[in-house]
Structure 1
Amino acid sequence: MIYRFFTTTIGQILAIIASSSIITFLLILFTLSRLYPGMPPSLPWPWQITVRVVGIVSGLKQAAEEQRPAIISAARHADMQIRLMQVPMTCKGETIDTHGLEMVLRSEMPDISDRVTVRTCGAGDDTDRIQILVGLGDQTVDIRTDQPIRSHWLTMPVISMLLFLCVAVTGMSTWAAWRVIRPLKRLSAKADAFGHEINVTPLEEEGPVEVRRAARAFNLMQERISRAMSDRTRTLAAVSHDLRTPLTRMRLQLQAEQSELKRDTLLRDVDLMQSMVTSALAFLSGSFNGEQKEWLDLGALLSTLSDEYEDRGANVTYEGPQHMRFFCRPNAINRALTNLVDNAIHYGDAVNIVASETSDAIIIDVMDDGPGIPHDKVREVVEPFVRLDPSRSNRPGSVGLGLSIVKEVVAAHFGTLELIQRPPKGLIARISFANQR
């Protein structure tokens, strides 16, 4: 689940931000360790002054009165002056920083908090001296320091941190944009190339999940369009080739200038041409996809088909339930079953339709006693315009689309079509559908 999240665009962006933050943190630590090896970081304002003042006052409180001058002399520093006075002169300046320092000192010295005062002495700029007054008995400690009230934050470590932060975030963001944009640019280039040439290599599926899905959808679309264009080209070639024979016969009959034209022959050739054109157009348009689904009694349909073929003189029998409910496109199913029976009648003398129904599936077998299909040609025969032997080419009205249409119809109903050799001879065309009851 976590891995799938980080394969998405938002997941990768979050990963990039987290990675850049970690890298920046490590670079800052490295910079500080190189600039200040072995040195702990200085305390922020106001704790630097607070620690020194509290230490001085604590030492003075614990020392005897005659020892205090020595302590004051030892605590003096270039940036800090300390005096012990009876009545000191109090400065008048007050700022937010002096107020904050006063509050901190009082919290650190609660026993004399009411005798702590912090003021500024000077013109009020950042270099003003800080005056800290702390009462000790009848005396007052007057501490003045030159340390700026506002600490300088724009130091070399801070500058390095900001610089590394900008570099890391910019670098990682550039890489992220390149990683996302590169597959999109390839997709755009492939789409542009596909507009000029149908047969292009599939697009590599890479990048975030959304981009990979778009690439996969593009590849599938490209495959479907290429296959459709190929099928249409083959259809035109096959139909134009097969129409030449009846057209030639009709031309010869008309050119013979006979007193009585062979009307039945011409009508038969016209019907043959119409059958071929109708079959080709139906395959190309996929008209069964637009039909609405409804409940159909497959048992009654198969029984009716068997009776109709027997009335025409064909040896077709049906064995199976008289009633099998199936939610489908009725015209498409009728056409697929009719194509199977027509094929079986053409290549065999006797056709037997066997249907069975279980709780899971509906199975329909159309069996003939013809020559069958070689095992290595089973996959080819369901492709459009494939006719395996010369005898198939002589079949009136056939352009090699019968089994292709059956395959398309069955697949549209989420079923399967199998062609099985029937011992000792013949073929079994088996259709399997999931039982929808």
Structure 2
Amino acid sequence: MQALRRFFSTTLGQILAIIACSSSITFGLFILLLFNPGGPPRPPWPWTPTYRIASIARVLAQTPVDARARTALSLQTPSLTLGMTKTPARCTVNTLDDSELYHTLSDELRDIGATISVHSCDARDPNGTIQVLVRLKDDDAMQLEARTQRVGPEPPRLRFPFYGAALFMCVGLLAMSLWAVARVIRPLRRLADKAEAFGREIALAPIEEEGPLEIRRAAHAFNLMQERITHSLQNRTRMLAAVSHDLRTPLTRMRLQLDTNESETVRDKLRKDIDLMQTMVSSALSYLNTGNDDESKEWLDLSALIATICDEYEEAGAAIRYEGPRQIRCFCRPDGMQRVLANLIDNALRFGETVVVVASVREDTILIDVSDDGPGIPETRLRDVLEPFVRLDPSRRGQPGSVGLGLSIVRDIVRAHGGELKLINRRPVGLTARIVMPQCTHDQDAKAELSQR
């Protein structure tokens, strides 16, 4: 049932359904108009024999059973032979004339409960003898046999109802087919127009997702592509604006210092400014390259990686410690995870004095918490700081050289691993950056990686 519903949601299925429905409706109307032309048959056929036979049957119904044979013989005419018989020699030919006579007789004798049978005796002679058998409901042994000739000219069979039905079928099929084609072409044309306009103007309203399944999928993919491209261009524009703005100040200082001083102290300041510029450029390049590297996934002891990174920071004089199990197996990109941990620890050390990294495995989920004792982030801005180029310098003691890309890089790498980054304020002070990674995702990625090899 699901497969059938899916088939009829496709372009081919909808067109086939439209044509099939229109053909069926047209055929039904054709049959209705051809064999039931909107009223009883016109005189003279079959009204003359119908009235005569119906009148005789009513008379016989009021006549005693033993006197019906004599009554029938007395009522016959040169054009209508009558008789009561037990075993009549039945005629077996069926024609449209017989059908018309049968239906009109049945309507006339319905009130007395008579059983009617009408057949022609000679298929080669359209004006030949027609046999009518009438069995009255109070006599199961005998039945009235009436034989008559067809009266009047042959009625035209192919009258207006036939031509009207044929014309309606042709026009209906043509109209339905045109409507089906238009229903498919309209969203395709709209999609083509949007694609052409997108080449001239980036910011466009999303295209309406309508039409068959394939068209809706194409429109949905186009909307996603448009949204991603627009978002990417906006981010890069903002990045260039931020970097340009932040580079203007150190460059101005460098130019002034070079013009006025040449001492060793000035050189040290110039080196710091150069390092500052290098940090900003490196952050921007790291963000641009996030998700575009070709690093392959591999099995990694995540606990050992975290412990190693914490030891390196501790050797450099940072107050940091790691708490967690001795081994956490994870199928991931090692360099990407190292960048994630390094960025989070750098942020924690920048805004706090003590950093604690806690890792754990709960059911099928890997949790990594990087906590500091800094001032935290206002609750209303927790989501904002995950966006690129957002800095909260007044509340987080902003440091020079930051362009607001560290957390954005972390979020994108974690999402590429099927996880999620959350920021949680601690009480009374501090902030926790939590990485939630579903462990089952790593197993599936490992199987996919092995199958590709």
Aligned to 1:18: 20
The SS at the match of 1:424 is: coil
CA distance in 1, matches of 2:303, 2:348: 19
The SS at the match of 1:373 is: coil
Q: How much has 1:74 moved relative to structure 2?
A: 4.6
Aligned to 1:88: none
Q: Provide, for residues 72-121 of structure 1, a one-character-per-residue CA deviation record: whole Å limited to 9, x for no partner.
A: x859xxxxxxxxxxxxxxxxxxxxxxxxxxxx89xxxxxxxxxxx999xx
Aligned to 2:374: 370
- TM alignment of 1:286-435, pairs within 5 A: 286=290, 289-390=293-394, 394-435=398-439
Residues 30 and 166 in structure 2, CA contact (< 8 A), matched pair in contact too:
no
1:281 and 2:282 correspond: no
CA distance in 1, matches of 2:123, 2:226: 80
Q: Provide, for residues 284-308 of structure 1, a one-character-per-residue CA deviation record: whole Å limited to 9, x for no partner.
A: 2325542111112111111111111
The SS at the match of 1:313 is: coil
CA distance in 2, matches of 1:308, 1:16: 70
Q: How much has 1:268 moved relative to structure 2?
A: 2.1
CA distance in 1, matches of 2:350, 2:265: 30
- Structure 2 unpaired stretches of 5+: 43-75, 81-92, 95-121, 129-152, 444-453
Assess, with a 3 A threshold, how the Cα gap between structure 1 residues 297 and 396 changes in structure 2: closer, same or farther. farther
Letter in 2 for 1:179: R
Assess, with a 3 A threshold, how the Cα gap between structure 1 residues 267 and 259 changes in structure 2: closer, same or farther. closer
CA distance in 2, matches of 1:418, 1:174: 54
1:237 to 233, 238, 241: 241
Aligned to 2:105: none
Assess, with a 3 A threshold, how the Cα gap between structure 1 residues 337 and 260 changes in structure 2: closer, same or farther. closer
CA distance in 2, matches of 1:297, 1:171: 67
Q: How much has 1:180 moved relative to structure 2?
A: 1.2
Residues 239 and 276 in structure 1, CA contact (< 8 A), matched pair in contact too:
yes
- TM alignment of 1:145-160, pairs within 5 A: 156-160=160-164
Q: How much has 1:154 moved relative to structure 2?
A: 5.7
Assess, with a 3 A threshold, how the Cα gap between structure 1 residues 194 and 360 changes in structure 2: closer, same or farther. same
CA distance in 1, matches of 2:36, 2:328: 85
Aligned to 1:172: 176
1:195 to 193, 196, 199: 199
- Structure 1 unpaired stretches of 5+: 41-70, 76-103, 106-116, 120-128, 133-146
CA distance in 2, matches of 1:195, 1:250: 42
Q: Provide, for residues 176-197 of structure 1, a one-character-per-residue CA deviation record: whole Å limited to 9, x for no partner.
A: 1111111111111111111111
CA distance in 2, matches of 1:162, 1:32: 10
Q: Provide, for residues 248-292 of structure 1, a one-character-per-residue CA deviation record: whole Å limited to 9, x for no partner.
A: 221122111425463332222222211211111221232554211
The SS at the match of 2:376 is: coil
The SS at the match of 2:366 is: strand
Q: How much has 1:242 moved relative to structure 2?
A: 1.2
TM-score (norm 1): 0.72
Aligned to 2:29: 27
TM-score (norm 2): 0.70
Assess, with a 3 A threshold, how the Cα gap between structure 1 residues 278 and 344 changes in structure 2: closer, same or farther. same
Q: How much has 1:15 moved relative to structure 2?
A: 2.0
Q: How much has 1:153 moved relative to structure 2?
A: 7.8
The SS at the match of 2:382 is: helix
- How large is the Cα RMSD of the aligned pairs? 3.6
Letter in 2 for 1:171: A
Residues 296 and 330 in structure 1, CA contact (< 8 A), matched pair in contact too:
yes
Letter in 2 for 1:293: K
Residues 288 and 329 in structure 1, CA contact (< 8 A), matched pair in contact too:
no
Residues 190 and 203 in structure 1, CA contact (< 8 A), matched pair in contact too:
yes
- TM alignment of 1:200-279, pairs within 5 A: 200-260=204-264, 262-279=266-283
> Relative to structure 2, which stretch is displaced further, 298-307 or 155-164?
155-164
Query: Matched residues, percent identical?
Result: 56
Letter in 2 for 1:20: S
Assess, with a 3 A threshold, how the Cα gap between structure 1 residues 26 and 288 changes in structure 2: closer, same or farther. closer
Residues 294 and 330 in structure 1, CA contact (< 8 A), matched pair in contact too:
yes
Letter in 1 for 2:178: T
Aligned to 2:9: 7
Assess, with a 3 A threshold, how the Cα gap between structure 1 residues 401 and 368 changes in structure 2: closer, same or farther. same
The SS at the match of 2:296 is: coil
CA distance in 1, matches of 2:396, 2:244: 17
Residues 376 and 430 in structure 2, CA contact (< 8 A), matched pair in contact too:
yes
Letter in 1 for 2:303: G
Assess, with a 3 A threshold, how the Cα gap between structure 1 residues 159 and 261 changes in structure 2: closer, same or farther. same
Assess, with a 3 A threshold, how the Cα gap between structure 1 residues 392 and 268 changes in structure 2: closer, same or farther. farther
CA distance in 2, matches of 1:356, 1:36: 83
CA distance in 2, matches of 1:37, 1:7: 42
CA distance in 1, matches of 2:341, 2:437: 13
Residues 414 and 433 in structure 1, CA contact (< 8 A), matched pair in contact too:
yes
CA distance in 2, matches of 1:238, 1:271: 17
